[in-house]
Amino acid sequence: MKKLGILSFVNHIPLNLDINSILKKAEELDIDYICSQGTGMDFGPYMLGSGTQFNVANFKNNVRPYIKFALKKKIKCIFSVGIAGGDSQLEECVNAINELAFEDNYKLKIAKISGEVSKTKLKSLINKGYKIKPAVKTKFLKNHIGINDIDESEHIVSQMGPEPIIEALNDDIDGIITGRALDIGLYMAPCMFHKFDKGLSAHLGKVLECAGLALTPGDPSEPIYGEISVDSIKVHSIGKKQKATIRSISSHSMYERDNPYMEKNPGGYLDIASAKYTQFNKNTVVATGAKWIEEPYTLKLEGAKIKGYRTISIFGIREPNFIDVLDDFIKQIRNNVKKSDQFKKYKEQKDYFISFDQYGKNGVYSNLEPQLNVKPNEIGLLVDVIASDQNLSENLAYYICMELWIKPYKNRLTTAGNCATRFAPPTISVGPAYHFNIWHLLSIDDPLYLFKKQIMNIPYEKN
Amino acid sequence: MKKIRDCANTLRSKNCDPFYTTFDIFFDEEFDYLKLKNSNILNKKDISKLYGILENQITGIYYLDNILAIKITLIKTIPSSEPDCKDVFGSHQHIMLANIEF
């Protein structure tokens, strides 16, 4: 194989309105694989902890035209799915593809690869002395992960590298659906399977992973096309609204990474320090020079633990006399909570956390806001309570609401209520709030060991 | 004197995993890029003040001459989605940099 072409889209981003005409144009391209990421921890630990994702109707709608395209052109799909990419999300997405097969009348054979890490397996690795260290030096992550930490995580996933996908490409299948996976691994896998250079494969993955976000103007709802050859990668848009430029492609190569030259991945680094970009034509960029530097193999583990239970409340404040005193008023509420009979046995920062965000004043930056002295016309006040159980959380939020509503302040005109209350009831129970208690690197020689593969025929009968 | 916001083509912030915020600044004019680079205004001491962090929370300040770009990465004081985190994507942390004059 002299070159390999990949069509890339992001499967959790709603379809571009021009998708039909874009895919019609894509029919003229040499496409060998359709790759698409749908996992990531950008949305925080909530979905990992709760086992949920965005409504699966979104995923189903987004993948529909691409799967039809792949079947028509007889090309393989490689999708990571389900945001957090645990087993419950993976199942839900595979079910959605099953429904599509019934509705659109087709048959598929797929490899399904789980990204959820079995707690039993992980504990036995720890007992055997496998090394696990924090992926980031921060007081929020423990230096050592023990059996307790594993038990306390609601779910643990791992970003599989390209290797489990490469292994599955040996099977007689139409596509691969994975849970949590390294985004660029989805692209590296077919390139490496067809023996292209690993550094160039990883660079192509980096450029294609967010689809049209690497183009200008950046719009990740547009797919992107890229190909790899012996010594270069080549990328361009498919639709008319975007272009690939040296600026757009090189800047995306450093997107979302701490170091612009090096990206740590399972088994090594992508090194683009000596990458060179050339404008091939007005909508095509060619890049050369990316390298892969081998390192001992590690996998990133991600685990979400319940931090507490969240209740929120939203108020509008327009009265200038109240805005004048609001900072002190909020301090007083915090003090009153501490002194109250109901709550004095609890410790702030341990049993509960309270945030007051004053949107319109310093809601985004708090005390770091550079223009703190500007008096706003109105303030949107968000009260955010996280407490060790839902009852405490709701009670704290209600107590705060009453303080906000009824307590007097200097020069008050409005004795029937201090602010505009957006919702009734004023407190909204959000449920569990999670945090990442595991964000660690596991040293392991076998890149496949944690990831279960299953070959399935679709459609299957639903229960 | 110019503000970064008045001459940057792109100025963005974003999580790179829940524990880091990374800033990318791109310029159209080499003159502006070099002037900012050579001024050394973007140094650990001043940036840490603007963001209320310790100097050692800044993991790197990088200048990419070939694409007229600057990258700055810092370890967050409050990781994404921890209590009191006000920007879960870290996508709106750029204002303090935008207002820097050079």
Question: Is any Cβ of chain B less than 8 angstroms from the Cβ of A138?
Answer: yes
- In this prediction, residue A293 carries a pLDDT of 98
- Looking at the predicted structure, is the pLDDT value of residue A463 above 60? no
CA dist A330 → A146, A178, A335, A362, A422 (Å):
40, 47, 9, 14, 19
The 10s digit of each residue's pLDDT in A46-55 is: 999 999 999 9
Question: Which residue's structure tokens are 């459609």?
Answer: A459
Which contiguous run of DSSP H or E holds residue A205?
helix A198-208
Nearest C-alpha neighbor of A410 from the set A326, A330, A318:
A326
- In this prediction, residue A419 carries a pLDDT of 96
Provide the shortest C-alpha distance from residue A174 to chain B (in Å).
Answer: 32
Nearest C-alpha neighbor of A84 from the set A114, A106, A110, A111:
A114
Nearest chain B alpha carbon to A382? B86
User: Do A364 and B86 lie within an 8 Å CB cutoff?
Assistant: yes
Using a 10 angstrom Cβ sphere, with 0-12 exposed, 13-18 middle and 19 or more buried, the burial of residue B65 is exposed
The 10s digit of each residue's pLDDT in A169-204 is: 999 999 999 999 999 999 999 999 999 999 999 999
The amino acid at residue A356 is F
Q: How many A×B Cβ pairs under 8 Å?
A: 106
For residue B63, give both structure tokens: 């200048």
- In this prediction, residue A256 carries a pLDDT of 87
- DSSP string across A291-326: EEEE---EEEEEEEEEEEEEEEEEEEE--HHHHHHH
User: Do B20 and A435 lie within an 8 Å CB cutoff?
Assistant: no
Measure CA B52 to chain center.
Answer: 13
User: Do B20 and A258 lie within an 8 Å CB cutoff?
Assistant: yes
Asked if residue A134 has a cis previous peptide bond (ω within 30° of 0), the answer is no
Question: Is any Cβ of chain B less than 8 angstroms from the Cβ of A389?
Answer: no
Provide the shortest C-alpha distance from residue B69 to chain A (in Å).
Answer: 8
Please count the CA atoms within 13 angstroms of the CA of A171 that sit on its side-chain side: 20
Nearest C-alpha neighbor of A436 from the set B75, B19, B87, B89:
B19
User: Do B24 and A370 lie within an 8 Å CB cutoff?
Assistant: no
Chain A stretch 148-207, residues whose beta carbon is closer than 8 A to a beta carbon of chain B: none
For residue A109, give both structure tokens: 């054979």
- In this prediction, residue A267 carries a pLDDT of 97
CA separation for the pair A101, A99 (Å, rounded): 5
Instruction: Decide: pTM greater than 0.90.
Output: yes
The 10s digit of each residue's pLDDT in A220-272 is: 999 999 999 999 999 999 999 999 999 999 999 888 889 999 999 999 999 99
The 10s digit of each residue's pLDDT in A287-344 is: 999 999 999 999 999 999 999 999 999 999 999 999 999 999 999 999 999 999 999 9
The 10s digit of each residue's pLDDT in A344-361 is: 999 999 999 999 999 999
Q: What is the ipTM of this complex?
A: 0.94
- Looking at the predicted structure, is the pLDDT value of residue A126 above 90? yes
Nearest C-alpha neighbor of A56 from the set A32, A91, A15, A31:
A91
Nearest chain A alpha carbon to B100? A370
Which contiguous run of DSSP H or E holds residue A153?
strand A153-158
- Looking at the predicted structure, is the pLDDT value of residue A58 above 90? yes
Quick one: pLDDT band at residue B66, thresholds 50, 70, 90? confident
DSSP-assigned beta bridge partners for residue B26 = B10, B69
Quick one: pLDDT band at residue A462, thresholds 50, 70, 90? low
Nearest C-alpha neighbor of A34 from the set A141, A190, A182, A192:
A190
* CB distance A185 to A209 below 8 Å: no
Quick one: pLDDT band at residue A444, thresholds 50, 70, 90? very high
The stretches of A36-138 forming alpha helices (DSSP H) are: 46-50, 56-73, 87-104, 119-127
Quick one: pLDDT band at residue A9, thresholds 50, 70, 90? very high
Using a 10 angstrom Cβ sphere, with 0-12 exposed, 13-18 middle and 19 or more buried, the burial of residue A417 is exposed
- Sheet order of strands, A276-281 included: A276-281, A284-288, A233-237, A224-228, A4-10, A33-37, A76-80, A175-178, A108-113, A453-458
Please list, in sequence order, all residues whose beta carbon lies within 8 angstroms of the beta carbon of residue A83, skipping any fewer than 6 positions away: A12, A38, A39, A40, A43, A47, A53, A54, A89
User: Do A136 and B75 lie within an 8 Å CB cutoff?
Assistant: yes
Which contiguous run of DSSP H or E holds residue A274?
none
- In this prediction, residue B84 carries a pLDDT of 95
The stretches of A304-433 forming alpha helices (DSSP H) are: 320-339, 390-406
CA-derived radius of gyration, chain A = 26
Question: Is any Cβ of chain B less than 8 angstroms from the Cβ of A135?
Answer: yes
- In this prediction, residue A191 carries a pLDDT of 98
CA separation for the pair A82, A6 (Å, rounded): 21
User: Do B69 and A260 lie within an 8 Å CB cutoff?
Assistant: yes
CA separation for the pair A219, B26 (Å, rounded): 18
What is residue A19's three-state secondary structure? Answer: helix
Q: Return the DSSP state at A144.
A: S
Instruction: Pick from B3, B10, B12, B19 the residue to mutate for testing the A interface (most A CBs within 10 Å).
Output: B19
Percent of chain A scored above 70 by pLDDT? 100
- In this prediction, residue A82 carries a pLDDT of 98
Mean pLDDT of all residues belonging to chain A: 96
For residue A62, is it left (φ>0), alpha (ψ between -120 and 50) or beta? alpha
A254 CB neighbours in chain B (<8 A) are 24, 64, 69, 71
CA separation for the pair A178, A76 (Å, rounded): 14
